[in-house]
A and B are shown apart, each in its own frame.
Chain A
Amino acid sequence: MQVDRELDLKGEVCPFTFVKSKLIIEQMEKGQILKVILDYKPSVENVPKSMEMEGQEVLAVNQIADNLWEVLVRKVK
């Protein structure tokens, strides 16, 4: 899967994990994929939920290490 933008949000908490992800995705093209790296557990649920509420497509949520996750989102609108 080709990732177009990657955003490292280690150390960030809600709601800024979503706010910063949204600011990036707003500036991407439709169809492009954003990868967000998170180390704050509540954000691992909240970022995908909020992205879906905005009409974006959440492709995957993967744990990649202890206390480290990646969220893949495709820009739909």
Chain B
Amino acid sequence: MSFGFTEEQIKRYSRHIILPEVGGVGQQKLLNAKVLVIGAGGLGSPSIYYLAAAGVGTIGIVDFDVVDFSNLQRQILHNTSRVGVPKVESAKMTVEALNPDVKVIAYNEKITKENVMDIVKDFDIVLDGSDNFPTRFLVNDACYMLGKPLVSAAILRFEGQLTVFDYRNKESSPCYRCLIPEPPPPGLVPSCQEAGLLGVVGGIMGTLQANEALKLILGIGEPLIGKLLVFDALKTEFRTVKFRKNPKCELCGENPTIKELIEYDQACEVRF
């Protein structure tokens, strides 16, 4: 029928199509969209699951880890029978069982300065749900250089953070390095063992990441650009802090010094 949707697709996406802001045109945009998710963990699980349910046609997933029992308290893409299976494979199985319209491209590898540009370049939007600063800086710098919007989230203990860097408009959008110029020195952040996390915080922040991605694809609403959303699970409070481009930023400032990718040392970072 219309737009080439099958009967099954019309039923599957009917709640989207009914929305005046989406419709058949918007649903087609979602089916044509290519979203890359870094990390199939606490943040990637809900974001990938909702993007797949929404019918985002191509989802790239990067993760080099295997499923562990300690992941299952929050990483809802995986399950007990998948312990020991690569996370990207487990994620692909879950997504394909949910929605056959979605093509999953699995990258069972670590992000490095050698592969990051190649992985990011074919996608429209990138969601960062990684658990370490070296990856975050590599992904950020690659997105900046390639002009890809980056939806960034982080979680720790009972707190979550979310913001959008729209590198399609580098002149107006601040960058990740405007917020965090470089990785904090080891010792300043809690070690892996110290970093507890209420699992549901990943569910909330990852779902909000998916929401920002869908808005960017559909071109609706106001993306969270130049605003940092901070969620406090204990108080059930959201705060929004505005931030600006830093004119002295070494990546996007007036006299940038960072012209190529930097791979920082992988110390024992916070397990986000």
Contacts and interface: CB of A to CB of B under 8 A. Distances in A.
B18 A26 contact: no
A12 to B, nearest CB: 10
Q: Is the interface of A mostly helix, strand, loop or mixed?
A: helix
B10 A20 contact: yes
Contacts of B20: 53-54
A50 B14 CA distance: 14
Contacts of A42: none
Contacts of A20: 1-2, 10
Interface centre among A16, A19, A50 (most CB of B within 10 A): A19
Contact of B14 (A15, A26, A54): A15
Contact of A16 (B3, B10, B25): B10
Contacts of B25: 26
Given A16-B10, A16-B11, A22 B18 contact: yes
Contacts of A27: 2-3, 24
Contacts of A16: 10-11, 14
Contacts of B24: 22-23, 26-27
Interface in A36-63: 50, 53-54
B14 A19 contact: yes
Contacts of A26: 2-3, 23-25
B201 to A, nearest CB: 34
14 contacts: A16-B14, A18-B18, A19-B10, A20-B2, A22-B23, A22-B24, A23-B5, A23-B10, A23-B23, A23-B24, A26-B25, A27-B24, A53-B20, A54-B20
